[in-house]
Chain A
Amino acid sequence: METTTQNPESPKFTSKDLVTDQEVRWCPGCGDYSILKQVQTVVPELGIPRENIVFISGIGCSSRFPYYMETYGMHSIHGRATAVASGLKASRPDLSVWIVTGDGDSMSIGGNHFIHLLRRNFNVNILLFNNEIYGLTKGQYSPTSEEGKVTKSTPMGSIDHPFNPFALAMGAEGSFIARSMDRDPVHLKEMLRRTNSHQGTSFLEIYQNCNVFNDGAFEIFTEKSSKKEEAIFVENGMPLIYGQDGTKGIKLDGFHPKIVDLTVEGNSANDLWIHDESDRVKAGILSRFFDRHEKGVDHLPRPFGVFYKEDRKCYEEAMNDQVVEAIAKKGAGNLDKLLQGREIWEIH
């Protein structure tokens, strides 16, 4: 089920109305600028009154985001935006709640709240700005940095094995899992729309370049020279095709993905893996398309798009249902009866 709440009576607003009086203070060239722009472009199209929108962030470069959005917002504490958003959505289901977080904020210090938010399935949107580095603290490896990463805290290379955020989200029973990148505004905007329209916790990972501490981390997916070979854009109902001029495809051999050269006679697009967003098993396999993107090595391309989507009851709805049910069964609470309790006696 995908819906867009339209409120015809609410005055329309434009992306300009979403700009605050605060100076944007990300480093020049930061990928966050592009994400901010796409969000400010998409949000006015969604038909949600501006006053019903809340952006909540934790700590980190990305978490300055709410200050730049002329909506309601909260810049909370490290890792806890997901928890704050849970309480807000639980008590105010009428609001459109967006969480802006980074790889340190949501995968490291806030890992616990991240997984629990996904399993509970509050109808909120998570925008994870993944730059594979700690930017605000000036360049330490993050839980998504690759092994061997040399940073200020790992002069001999990181010995931490990184998280695969999608496998983590699948394991945490996420109901909507998608990926995009800062340097593909068209795709990013489309993913933002999809993220908003999903009823449930929508998890959108956005590859975001930190040009100061981890420049070029995602270059291989964004540069024209390598993008076609290294990135694959999945679409529901469409075969998995990528490569220069769409000459490569992926098919399933049992549970194993195989790269198929479509220029070879006998190989047909009809035999390829057809992407099905609702297929949990295939989404699991797709989430494993995660080997490192070293140039020249034969490996699976990194997927972008909506990997997985399922319709499951939202937490806040179930919570409200119980209140309604309790009132239907017992009647609306009477405070005097509650104060009195079951057994009383009188002293004259």
Chain B
Amino acid sequence: MEQRNQVLDNVIIKFAGDSGDGMQLTGTQFTNTAALFGNDLSTFPDFPAEIRAPQGTIPGVSGYQLHFGSVNIFTPGDECDVLVAMNAAALKANMRHLKKGGTIIANSDGFDHKNLRLANYTDGANPIVDGTLDSYHLITIDVTKMTRAALAESTLGIKEIDRAKNMFVLGFLYWMYNRNMDFTFKFLTEKFSKKQDILDANLKVLQAGYNYGDTTETATTRFTVNPAQMPPGVYRNIMGNQAAAIGLVAASQKSGLELFYGTYPITPATDILHELAKYKNFGVKTFQAEDEIAAICATIGASFGGKLAVTASSGPGIALKAEAMGLALMLELPLVIINVQRGGPSTGLPTKTEQSDLFQALYGRNGEAPIPVIASMSPADCFHAVYEACRLAIEFMTPVIFLSDGFLANGSEPWRFPKADDLTPITTKFATEKNDGERYLPYKRDEKLARPWALPGTAGLEHRIGGLEKQHETGNISYDPENHEFMVKMRAAKVARIADFTPPQKLDSGNEKGKLLILGWGSTYGPIKGAVRDAREKGYDVSHAQVRYMNPLPKNLGEILYSFDQVLIPEMNTGQLLSIIRDKYMIPAIGLNKVKGMPFSSSEILVKIEELQKK
């Protein structure tokens, strides 16, 4: 039978299976292969909260969504074109994310009686044989049988043989999308360099999956997705947490300060620790503290000692750090606090994404306690945003909060990475001499209102700092009412002044004046960008601005807001930036809110744009 080849401009594949089926690995392999081929892409893994939920059940389903194309890709995609379902639970959990008429690649072995029961299908029902999927393009393969057959001569045990199943699927998809398998060959060869039998098995099954597509009539069409038009340059693929880790190392190198990273494991921030722990040869010291409070307090100690001090957590851990964040701002020491947001409140949804800690970042401390806040917009932007957080912390002598979220942390995209020499310099100044005749005044301020950083070990500059209110300039304890009000205003003015040194807000797309502005912050960037592109193609008058500097807000933001008839603010919370914008700029901004632990799809935003413009 003749095979057809169809050219597509973008494809969304969801890999779904049991937590133990290796879907994350399959997904990343396909992703890296697509990236090296030159596709633009965006990915989003969707893990269960449990490490190993009961096999075959819906809570045990682990997913990985990849959107790749020859066009610009802004999000992991809304509904998928292809769903890989390794078992019945994977199908059931993901059917609602599949496009009408989409393709399902089902592992028939995962649809036996037991799996169907575990996935809560009614007795006798089996979607892959009973016709319920007739409106979809269903490809059924007994992956387990094929894998075992391919390894009939292997000396491996049956458990190890079955573990290679995902390679069969990967090989099949490589065939389906005309992909070169070199990247995966190389990856497997390195990964199993000391386990020849496992390497052989994986390579064999991968090839068998590819050949299966080539020789059987299971699928008659192959697809080509050409490289994307992207700005010229050298690219790599990067995940948000990885980008944040590298950003910290870069800031350490550029500032000349050793990085001290004190943290306590928490999802989804922990991978930054895992990443940094590998970089000890950059002088990085990672400290896994006994709890969240110790983690931040240790970093305060390191900052006092003159290091680039960073702590990270997610919402619940940030709550525990609140008192120490207040101390850091009283001490006016540089410190970066990373919050990789997840669904809340309380333990909430640990593996899901949300933007509901903006208020916590801005207001979650006792007293008048302003701290600058920077939010990253995309996985790769985590690098630039955390780097900027470090720069502001050091140059302004202040704690700075960096907001990421689960979507950014685990999502990936191609990154035209910078050269070390091209990064913004970070100026580190240590006090070396007395600054008031024969005295050293620890709270005497420079033009940025920053105080000097005098390190222990510097003779003649011995001084004491603490959490009690301090006298202007001397830093001595002061209960004077006038002084307290003065210092409260001084600390606020210092943070506000940062806006004089940070770039003005820019429009990402659209006209400078018009009917509708979509104002986003953080990880809604991709979905909004996609929606605005589509809306503008349809002729709607809509513009887009994405805020990175959450505090202080860019000085020209008001001017931009006032240039539009309407302002729509999509957020993965119940309207936090919305409240701030309404409060600060007194405009009737409109919210578009989603609190489902899932990112927005572009179409959800597009629907809202159309609704607003039709009125």
Q: Which residues of A contact B (CB under 8 A)?
A: 20, 22, 49-54, 56, 66-67, 69-77, 80, 83-92, 94-95, 112-113, 116, 319, 322-323, 325-327, 329-333, 335-336, 338-348
**Nearest CB of chain B from residue A232's CB, rounded to whole Å:** 34
* A335 engages B304 (CB within 8 Å): no
Task: Say yes or no: is B237 at the interface (Cβ < 8 Å to chain A).
Answer: yes
Which of the listed residues B233, B253, B304 has the most CB atoms from chain A within 10 Å of its own CB?
A: B304
Whose C-beta in chain B lies nearest to the C-beta of A70?
Answer: B462
Residues of B within 8 A of A51 (CB): 456-462
Task: Say yes or no: is B425 at the interface (Cβ < 8 Å to chain A).
Answer: no
Given contacts A75-B468, A336-B419, contact A67 B234 (CB under 8 A): no
Interface residues of B in 568-614 (CB under 8 A from A): none
* A84 engages B301 (CB within 8 Å): yes
* A338 engages B35 (CB within 8 Å): no
* B249 engages A86 (CB within 8 Å): no
In the bound complex, what is the Cα–Cα distance between A113 and B264 (angstroms)? 13
Interface residues of B in 300-319 (CB under 8 A from A): 300-307, 309
**Nearest CB of chain B from residue A228's CB, rounded to whole Å:** 41
Task: Say yes or no: is B363 at the interface (Cβ < 8 Å to chain A).
Answer: no
Whose C-beta in chain A lies nearest to the C-beta of B280?
Answer: A326
In the bound complex, what is the Cα–Cα distance between A22 and B306 (angstroms)? 26
* B290 engages A345 (CB within 8 Å): no
Contact of A347 among B231, B298, B464, B477 (CB under 8 A): B231
Whose C-beta in chain A lies nearest to the C-beta of B383?
Answer: A339
Task: Say yes or no: is B504 at the interface (Cβ < 8 Å to chain A).
Answer: no
In the bound complex, what is the Cα–Cα distance between A347 and B417 (angstroms)? 13
Residues of A within 8 A of B262 (CB): 87
* B237 engages A343 (CB within 8 Å): yes
**Nearest CB of chain B from residue A69's CB, rounded to whole Å:** 8
Contacts A20-B464, A87-B262 aside, 19 further interface pairs with beta carbons under 8 A come to: A22-B477, A53-B456, A73-B463, A74-B301, A74-B464, A77-B327, A87-B297, A87-B299, A91-B309, A95-B456, A116-B294, A333-B281, A339-B419, A339-B420, A340-B234, A346-B232, A346-B234, A347-B232, A347-B234
Task: Say yes or no: is B260 at the interface (Cβ < 8 Å to chain A).
Answer: yes
Residues of A within 8 A of B460 (CB): 51
Residues of B within 8 A of A340 (CB): 234, 236, 417
Whose C-beta in chain B lies nearest to the C-beta of A21?
Answer: B476
Contact of A345 among B234, B418, B461 (CB under 8 A): B234
Task: Say yes or no: is B185 at the interface (Cβ < 8 Å to chain A).
Answer: no
* B305 engages A332 (CB within 8 Å): no
Residues of B within 8 A of A331 (CB): 281
Residues of A within 8 A of B287 (CB): 86-87, 90, 319
Whose C-beta in chain B lies nearest to the C-beta of A66?
Answer: B464
Interface residues of B in 34-67 (CB under 8 A from A): 35-38
In the bound complex, what is the Cα–Cα distance between A319 and B476 (angstroms)? 35
Whose C-beta in chain B lies nearest to the C-beta of A329?
Answer: B281
* A76 engages B236 (CB within 8 Å): no
Task: Say yes or no: is B230 at the interface (Cβ < 8 Å to chain A).
Answer: yes
Task: Say yes or no: is B514 at the interface (Cβ < 8 Å to chain A).
Answer: no
In the bound complex, what is the Cα–Cα distance between A325 and B280 (angstroms)? 9
Which of the listed residues B234, B238, B290, B464 has the most CB atoms from chain A within 10 Å of its own CB?
A: B464
**Nearest CB of chain A from residue B252's CB, rounded to whole Å:** 9
* B417 engages A339 (CB within 8 Å): yes
Given contacts A51-B459, A67-B466, A95-B456, contact A88 B302 (CB under 8 A): yes
Task: Say yes or no: is B331 at the interface (Cβ < 8 Å to chain A).
Answer: yes
Contact count band on B? 35 or more
Residues of A within 8 A of B148 (CB): none
In the bound complex, what is the Cα–Cα distance between A51 and B419 (angstroms)? 39
* A91 engages B285 (CB within 8 Å): yes
Contact of A84 among B297, B461, B462 (CB under 8 A): B297
Contact of B290 among A50, A76, A113 (CB under 8 A): A113
Whose C-beta in chain A lies nearest to the C-beta of B39?
Answer: A345
In the bound complex, what is the Cα–Cα distance between A335 and B260 (angstroms)? 17
Q: Which residues of B contact A (CB under 8 A)?
A: 32, 35-38, 183, 227, 230-238, 246, 249-250, 253, 258, 260, 262, 279-285, 287, 289-291, 293-294, 297-307, 309, 323-324, 327, 331, 417-420, 456-468, 476-477
Contact of B35 among A85, A322, A325, A345 (CB under 8 A): A345
Residues of A within 8 A of B466 (CB): 66-67, 73-76
What 9 pairs between A and B have smallest CB-CB spacing?
A75-B466, A87-B298, A87-B301, A333-B282, A88-B301, A83-B297, A326-B280, A92-B305, A73-B464
In the bound complex, what is the Cα–Cα distance between A74 and B461 (angstroms)? 14
**Nearest CB of chain A from residue B19's CB, rounded to whole Å:** 26
Whose C-beta in chain A lies nearest to the C-beta of B247?
Answer: A339
Given contacts A322-B280, A343-B32, A345-B36, contact A76 B297 (CB under 8 A): yes
Whose C-beta in chain A lies nearest to the C-beta of B303?
Answer: A87
In the bound complex, what is the Cα–Cα distance between A132 and B237 (angstroms)? 59
Contact of B38 among A75, A83, A94, A347 (CB under 8 A): A347
Contact of B464 among A75, A92, A322, A323 (CB under 8 A): A75
**Nearest CB of chain A from residue B439's CB, rounded to whole Å:** 9
In the bound complex, what is the Cα–Cα distance between A51 and B232 (angstroms)? 53
* B301 engages A72 (CB within 8 Å): no
25 A-B pairs with CB atoms under 8 Å apart are: A51-B462, A54-B456, A66-B466, A73-B463, A80-B324, A83-B294, A87-B287, A87-B298, A87-B300, A87-B301, A88-B305, A89-B301, A91-B258, A94-B457, A95-B456, A113-B290, A323-B280, A335-B250, A335-B253, A338-B282, A339-B250, A343-B36, A344-B235, A345-B37, A346-B232
Given contacts A322-B280, A329-B281, contact A87 B232 (CB under 8 A): no
Residues of B within 8 A of A327 (CB): 280-281, 283
Residues of A within 8 A of B246 (CB): 338-339
* A76 engages B327 (CB within 8 Å): yes
Contact of B235 among A74, A80, A91, A345 (CB under 8 A): A345
Residues of A within 8 A of B419 (CB): 336, 339
Residues of B within 8 A of A344 (CB): 234-236
* A72 engages B456 (CB within 8 Å): yes
Whose C-beta in chain B lies nearest to the C-beta of A89?
Answer: B301
Residues of A within 8 A of B331 (CB): 74
Given contacts A330-B281, A347-B38, contact A335 B420 (CB under 8 A): yes
In the bound complex, what is the Cα–Cα distance between A50 and B513 (angstroms)? 62
In the bound complex, what is the Cα–Cα distance between A85 and B460 (angstroms)? 22
Contact of A87 among B281, B309, B465 (CB under 8 A): B309
Contact of B293 among A22, A71, A83 (CB under 8 A): A83
**Nearest CB of chain B from residue A315's CB, rounded to whole Å:** 9
* A67 engages B464 (CB within 8 Å): yes
Contact of B306 among A76, A80, A92 (CB under 8 A): A92
Residues of B within 8 A of A77 (CB): 297, 323-324, 327, 467
In the bound complex, what is the Cα–Cα distance between A88 and B238 (angstroms)? 33
In the bound complex, what is the Cα–Cα distance between A119 and B164 (angstroms)? 44
**Nearest CB of chain B from residue A157's CB, rounded to whole Å:** 32
In the bound complex, what is the Cα–Cα distance between A322 and B331 (angstroms)? 31
Whose C-beta in chain A lies nearest to the C-beta of B283?
Answer: A323
Which of the listed residues B232, B262, B294, B420 has the most CB atoms from chain A within 10 Å of its own CB?
A: B294
* A343 engages B236 (CB within 8 Å): yes
In the bound complex, what is the Cα–Cα distance between A83 and B327 (angstroms)? 13
Which of the listed residues A92, A322, A330 has the most CB atoms from chain B within 10 Å of its own CB?
A: A92
Residues of A within 8 A of B236 (CB): 340-345
**Nearest CB of chain B from residue A55's CB, rounded to whole Å:** 8
Contact of B304 among A53, A88, A338 (CB under 8 A): A88
In the bound complex, what is the Cα–Cα distance between A75 and B298 (angstroms)? 14
Whose C-beta in chain A lies nearest to the C-beta of B36?
Answer: A345
Residues of A within 8 A of B303 (CB): 87
* A83 engages B281 (CB within 8 Å): no
